[in-house]
Chains A and B, each alone.
Chain A
Amino acid sequence: MKILVVDDDVQLRRALRINLEARQHSVIEVGDGKDAVESTIADTPDFVILDLGLPGLSGAEVVRAVRRVSAVPILVLSGRTQSADKVDALDAGANDYVTKPFSIDELLARVRALTRGAGVPHHDVVGFGEVRVDLTRHEIVRRSTDGEEIVKLTPTEWGVLEVLVRNPDRLVSKREILTTVWGPAYGKEDAYLRLFVGQLRKKLELDPARPKHLITEPGLGYRFSQ
């Protein structure tokens, strides 16, 4: 896979290059937003890792410029604690983000999640925590101390769970869930979504107040993690 790494810090670029090359990817390094946009056009990378704090163009501007010419997955490195920049970049079309500092495994997991391709089921049966979800038979089994029990979900709950489970480790935006489950006319009904995710947590998580699998990304969306 050809990966474009955009960061103004030479050291971080070097660390990423060594790691990605060791995993048989080819790496293009650039140091600013303008070069990033030019390289997207000239080199047609398969993946873009983009730092948000770049000199010149802002991260969101780079994402917007790249999106005009390419649908390449973009993973944003956010060196800031403010979520506004992340939200801007994701709204502009970035696919996911990692907050600095990050371990290389975390970054690689995000890269894998994004390149698996959205909506493609990689397993029909997904197990997490105490539950096993069979996506084809629409059946959920929950183990507990006194044996197994079937968990019943409403159709809407199924819809929400399916979108998340089919995109493991990937940030799924609120909008994406809403339009997939409710239809294209919905997209702003965040409160619905919170309600159904809350229901799902009650039924599936060990501790619904501290979810481990259906994780909220504040302001952005949800992420399913096994």
Chain B
Amino acid sequence: MGALSARRQLVGLVIALIALPTLTVSLSSVRSDVSLASDVLAYQLLVVVVALIGGFWPAIAAALAAGTLLDYYFVVPLYTAAIDEPLHLMALVVFVIIAFLVSVVVDKAERRSQAARRSMKESETLAELSGSVLRGDDGIPAMAQKLREVFDLASVSVERGHIVLHRSTRPVEPDQNSEVSGTPPRGRTVIPLGDNGRLVLTGGPLRPADERVIRAFAAQIETGLAHRDLTAEVERAKPLEAADKMRTALLAAVGHDLRTPLAAATAAVSSLASTDVQFSAGDRAELVNTAQVSLDRLGRLVSDLLDASRLQAGVLAVYRESVAIDELIPLALDDINASYHSVEVDLPDDLPEILADPVLVQRIVANLTANALRFSPAGVRPRICATVVEHPHTSVRLRIVDSGPGVPPERRQAIFAPFQREGDEDATSGVGLGLALSRGFAEAMGGTLDPEETPGGGLTMVVTLPVAPPSTTLPTPTGVLE
């Protein structure tokens, strides 16, 4: 007994306390011999009203009081508590029984409506939960918080192994600091979640009836955990996927670049071997030249690829010695069949020698100059110049300057990645190893290669290489890089 709130019971009691004397006074003023039946009914009405409002205890109290008042004021002998008729005693008992029955009904109804309210709340909560999972987020923080609020818990945490994946705790209100912070929570409930996961609830009384909803929460949180695992898996697969894509693009590019000169050389050589037709001397020479040019290109590509893989594996042999840059530049220009006049070379007379591998420096300069020539507008010569810098080390800074279209700042590092060209649809620019190799070579010699903007537009490549120590007299192999 006692489903009704204390407030309702109090209201019922107050009504009884006020209405009983009022009723007694007004009824006794019109008392007559025949009024007893209506008096009894009026009291009965009052007891029922009190039972409806205040439930069991106020009703019983009101019934006893009403019986006593009836007996005292309206039943003969008047003004005595004595009951001389068994009939009157029975009336009093009936009075109490009716009050009891009504209050039992009221109490039951209240219990039912409370249960209905609770299940409504439960279904709302469950709907909300499934909604959050359906929306795609794993919803674990939201679910933990909801669970804590619904059951008014001190904390809810989702754990796996020794790791707390998420914890929701009741916010400590400033005026509630009476609770000592070190006090262990009263109740602790642990619900297993899938493989080695668990849901830990602390504080707050949990009733057996709550279990159903808590199980549902646990199931949803478990789903959320699975969701989280799958998302993590997808995230982990992403870089692999990108690497895979890169590798495919790279293979296509290398395949195309290897096959193109091979196809031309094969076509040229196989036609020289064919017997069904007589080529003129000029045609034969051209076919031989085609084969030669294509095979040269193939050879260069193969050695570039080998160097690139050596750089990547850290096994590129670097032999550093004192090198005079002004002696290397004509060799580099010769490599790319560029005349000394197609490039403006402007080196100070007192430029110190650098400590570098002459072969690699020559290839860097050849490569950068070939690019500069390719992108320079007609009539504007690329420029090669050099300065000495003191910081951080004494170095020579060699600049290869073009006035071409330039490279936007956000692309300036990307152009150094190997195999920049996408797919295999361009035979003119090569596989895109040149810049990657040049930078790799520079770094292998303890230097750097960086792009900057040419004042007035264009791209300037800056090669920085250390100056040779004055005492260096003999070439000293520094061995293998790294």
From DSSP, what is the main secondary structure of chain B's interface residues? helix
Q: How many residues of A contact B (CB 8 A)?
A: 28
- Residue among B256, B271, B286, B428 making CB contact with A104, cutoff 8 Å: B271
Distance in Å from the Cβ of A37 to the closest Cβ of chain B? Answer: 16
Q: In the complex the two chains form, is A11's CB within 8 Å of B287's CB? A: no
Tell me the chain B residues, 405-450 only, with Cβ under 8 Å from chain A: 424-428
A55 at the B interface (CB under 8 A)? yes
The proximity string for B residues 262-300 relative to A, scoring 1 for CB distances below 8 Å and 0 otherwise, is: 111111101100101111100100110010011001000
- Interface set, chain A 45-62, CB cutoff 8 A to B: 53-56, 58
Q: Is the CB of B266 within 8 A of A103?
A: yes
Q: Does A154 contact B (CB under 8 A)?
A: no
With contacts A8-B426, A100-B259, A101-B267 taken as known, whether A15 is within 8 angstroms of B279 at the C-beta atoms is no
Quick one: CB contact mask for A16-49 with B, threshold 8 Å, 1 for yes? 1011011100000000000000000000000000
Distance from B235 Cβ to chain A, minimum over Cβ atoms (Å)? 30
Cβ contact of B270, chosen from A8, A79, A103, cutoff 8 A: A103
Is the CB–CB distance between A12 and B263 below 8 Å? yes
Q: Give the chain A neighbours of B169 by CB distance below 8 A.
A: none
Is A105 among interface residues, defined by CB-CB distance under 8 A?
Answer: yes
CB neighbours (8 Å) of A101 from chain B are: 259, 262-263, 265-267
The verdict on A102 contacting B267 (CB below 8 Å), with A9-B427, A53-B425 known, is: yes
Whether the Cβ atoms of A107 and B279 lie closer than 8 Å is: no
Task: Say yes or no: A11 contacts B270, CB within 8 Å.
Answer: no
Q: Are the CB atoms of B266 and A79 closer together than 8 Å?
A: no
Q: Which residues of A contact B266 (CB under 8 A)?
A: 101-103
Tell me the complex Cα distance, A109–B54, Å.
Answer: 108
The number of chain B residues with a CB under 8 A from chain A is: 33
Question: In the complex, which residues of chain A have a beta carbon less than 8 angstroms from the beta carbon of B255?
Answer: 79-81
Q: Does B252 contact A (CB under 8 A)?
A: yes
Quick check: B425 and A104 within 8 Å, CB to CB? Answer: no
Within 8 A of B (CB), among A80-111: 80-81, 100-105, 107
Among B264, B267, B277, the residue within 8 A (CB) of A23 is B277
Give, as a whole number of angstroms, the nearest-CB distance from B302 to chain A: 15
Q: What is the bound-complex CA distance between A18 and B272, given in angstroms?
A: 11
Please tell me if A143 contacts chain B, counting CB pairs below 8 Å: no
Does B67 count as interface, using CB distance less than 8 angstroms? no
Complexed CA–CA distance, A58 and B425 (Å): 8
Which interface residue of A15, A55, A56, A81 has the most chain B CB atoms within 10 A? A15
Residues of A within 8 A of B290 (CB): 11-12, 14-15, 18
**A residues at B contact (CB < 8 Å):** 8-9, 11-12, 14-16, 18-19, 21-23, 53-56, 58, 77, 79-81, 100-105, 107
Residues of B within 8 A of A56 (CB): 425
Q: Which residue of A lies closest to B251 (CB)?
A: A81
Residues of A within 8 A of B297 (CB): 11
**CB-CB < 8 A to B451: which residues of A?**
none
Indicate if the CB atoms of B271 and A15 lie closer than 8 Å: yes
Q: How far is the CA of A55 from the CA of B297 in the complex (A)?
A: 19
* B256 pairs with A15, CB closer than 8 A: no
How many angstroms between the C-alpha atoms of A77 and B425 in the bound complex? 13
Nearest chain B CB to A200 CB, angstrom units: 32
- Chain B 234-257, CB-CB to A under 8 Å as 1, else 0, gives 000000000000000000100110
For the complex, is B24 an interface residue (Cβ under 8 Å from A)?
no
Question: Within the complex, what minimum Cβ distance (angstroms) separates B327 from chain A?
Answer: 33
Contacts of B276 in A (CB 8 A): 23
State the CA gap A46–B361 with chains docked (Å): 51
With A and B bound together, what is the CA distance between A42 and B265 in angstroms? 31
B125 beta carbon closer than 8 Å to chain A: no
CB distance from A22 to the nearest CB of B (A): 5
Give the docked Cα–Cα distance between A104 and B255 (Å).
21
The answer to whether A8 and B428 touch across the interface, beta carbons within 8 angstroms, is yes
- Does B261 reach chain A (CB closer than 8 Å)? yes
The residues of A that contact B267 with a CB separation of less than 8 Å are 12, 15-16, 19, 101-104, 107
19 further A-B contacts with Cβ under 8 Å, apart from A18-B283, A55-B426, are A8-B425, A9-B427, A11-B268, A12-B260, A12-B263, A14-B264, A14-B286, A15-B267, A15-B271, A16-B267, A18-B279, A53-B427, A56-B425, A58-B425, A79-B263, A79-B424, A100-B260, A100-B262, A102-B270
